C-alpha cells in the first residue's frame, strides 16, 4: 500500500489515480476527503496528532505500507516582506513540518519490512531562486535538506527517500498566477515547457518501483534546473 498525502486534489490526486490505474493499493490523506473516490482518511499533515491518528489506523488495519508520497503542500506567491506572519507559518507548517511528521510517523511502518520508498515534494523555485516565492522556496529547501539526511538514516532499513521538484505544473496550486508569470518560470527550466501532472506521476511510479533501487537522497527536477 502507498500512502499519499494531498490526495484530494492537484498532484496528489493525479498520483493516486495513476497508482490505482496500475493496480497499486492507495491510502489517500487530505484535510477533506468527502469527494475522494478511493480509500482515504482525513488528515491535517501539519498536525502531529492528526498524522499519528493515521498511523494508528494503519497499524490497527494491519496495512502493509511500502511507500509514502508527501504531496500535500500549499503555496503563496508574495514578496517575503508583504507576506503575513500567519501565512508564512502556515506554509512552513504544512510544507516542511507536514513532510517531516509524515516521514517520522509513517516510515516506521516500512522499517519493519525493511523495504520502502518515500517521495517528498520540493519545487524548482529552490534551484532557480524565484522572486516572489522566498517563503515557499524556504519551506521546500528544508524538505530537500531533510530528504538528503533522512535518506541516509533510512538506508540501513532499505527504505529509499527521494524528492521530486516540479516546475509550474498545471494544477490548482497555480490558481492566481498569471500565464505570463508561468511562462517566465518555465523559460528558466532546462526543458522550457510546462509539464502536466502525468509527468510527475510517471516519476512517482518510477521511484516507488524496484527499477529505481539505486536512487536515494536525490532531488529530481521536472523540466530540469
Q: Least distance (Å) from other proteins to the CB of residue 123?
A: 29
Stretch that binds other proteins, among 20-28, 31-39, 101-109, 166-174 (CB under 8 A): 101-109
Please answer whether residues 131 and 82 qualify as being in contact, where contact means their C-beta atoms are separated by less than 8 angstroms: no
Q: Which residue has the cell 492507495?
A: 26
For other proteins (CB under 8 A), the number of binding residues is 11
Residues with Cβ within 8 Å of 198's Cβ and at least 6 positions away in sequence, in order, are 14, 18
Distance CA 206, CA 162 (A): 11
Q: Which residues pair with 5 in a beta bridge?
A: 29, 70
Stretch that binds other proteins, among 6-14, 24-32, 86-94, 102-110 (CB under 8 A): 102-110
Q: Which of 87, 111, 128, 138 touches other proteins (CB under 8 A)?
A: 111
Residue 213 touches other proteins, criterion: CB under 8 A: no
The C-alpha cell of 79 is what?
Answer: 514578496
Name which of residues 158 to 177 contact other proteins (CB under 8 A): none
- The residue annotated as part of the active site, out of 101, 121, 136, 195, is 136
Active site residue 101: no
Residue 59 touches other proteins, criterion: CB under 8 A: yes
Q: Which residue has the cell 486534489?
A: 9
Q: Hey, which residues are catalytic here?
A: 136
Amino acid at each position: 500500500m502507498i500512502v499519499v498525502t494531498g490526495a484530494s486534489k492537484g498532484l496528489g490526486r493525479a498520483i493516486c489515480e495513476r497508482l490505482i490505474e496500475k493496480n497499486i493499493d492507495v491510502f489517500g490523506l487530505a484535510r477533506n476527503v468527502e469527494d475522494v473516490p478511493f480509500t482515504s482518511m482525513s488528515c491535517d499533515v501539519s498536525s502531529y496528532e492528526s498524522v499519528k491518528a493515521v498511523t494508528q489506523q494503519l497499524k490497527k488495519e494491519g496495512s502493509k505500507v511500502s511507500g509514502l508520497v508527501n504531496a500535500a503542500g500549499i503555496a503563496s506567491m508574495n514578496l517575503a516582506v508583504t507576506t503575513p506572519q500567519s501565512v508564512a507559518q502556515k506554509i512552513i507548517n504544512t510544507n516542511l513540518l507536514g513532510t517531516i511528521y509524515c516521514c517520522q510517523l509513517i516510515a516506521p511502518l516500512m522499517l519493519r519490512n525493511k523495504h520502502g520508498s518515500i517521495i517528498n515534494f520540493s519545487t524548482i523555485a529552490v534551484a532557480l531562486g524565484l522572486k516572489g516565492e522566498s517563503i515557499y522556496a524556504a519551506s521546500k529547501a528544508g524538505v530537500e535538506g531533510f530528504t538528503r539526511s533522512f535518506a541516509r538514516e533510512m538506508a540501513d532499513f532499505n527504505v529509499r527517500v527521494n524528492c521530486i521538484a516540479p516546475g509550474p505544473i498545471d494544477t490548482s496550486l497555480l490558481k492566481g498566477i498569471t500565464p505570463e508569470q508561468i511562462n517566465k518560470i518555465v523559460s528558466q527550466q532546462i526543458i522550457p515547457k510546462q509539464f502536466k501532472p502525468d509527468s510527475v506521476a510517471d516519476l512517482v511510479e518510477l521511484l516507488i518501483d524496484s527499477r529505481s533501487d539505486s536512487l536515494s537522497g536525490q532531488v529530481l527536477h521536472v523540466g530540469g534546473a
